[in-house]
Chains A and B, each alone.
Chain A
Amino acid sequence: NAGVTQTPKFQVLKTGQSMTLQCAQDMNHNSMYWYRQDPGMGLRLIYYSASEGTTDKGEVPNGYNVSRLNKREFSLRLESAAPSQTSVYFCASRVTDTQYFGPGTRLTVL
């Protein structure tokens, strides 16, 4: 039981490039979330998916898109990366009220 897994662990992009961050959970949770974490700040919600087939915007959705591919997988896409999107990205899944987090993806946009 791996919990929440994220790929890649690290990524460097040039401004304007696109990429997809992958997240998968093997706990059969319905809800999944994407957060970003910037230095000195708490996590901020980008998008979430309450169940397979649904997605909703969080606090900071601009510049991102998401896909809930199936119950296990929830991907985050940056269509045209900007330096302001340099951050650490965390995926989480939820059972009852508790969210469980993946190890994070550290993204740098030059």
Chain B
Amino acid sequence: EAGVTQSPTHLIKTRGQQATLRCSPISGHTSVYWYQQALGLGLQFLLWYDEGEERNRGNFPPRFSGRQFPNYSSELNVNALELEDSALYLCASSLEEISYTFGSGTRLTVV
């Protein structure tokens, strides 16, 4: 069984640009979660999608947005990038909220 896959692995953008991160959940998992992990810090909850809808979002500005597609894959979009958006962005999927399976992450660097 394929795990959660994220692309790209690394992404370098300049301040003010937009970044798009992608996540494919484990087959059969309908929920996708996005977390931000800044360097040396813990995971901060960003967004939760389930059955194509945004169920909840963390304490992040509106320039962080995303969507979930009919096949349950998901995109995270970050507009008007700022230097402090540099972080590891982790996607996780779950079926019944017992445990999450995480992807390897996308390391976003804003210069």
**A, B from the same assembly:** no
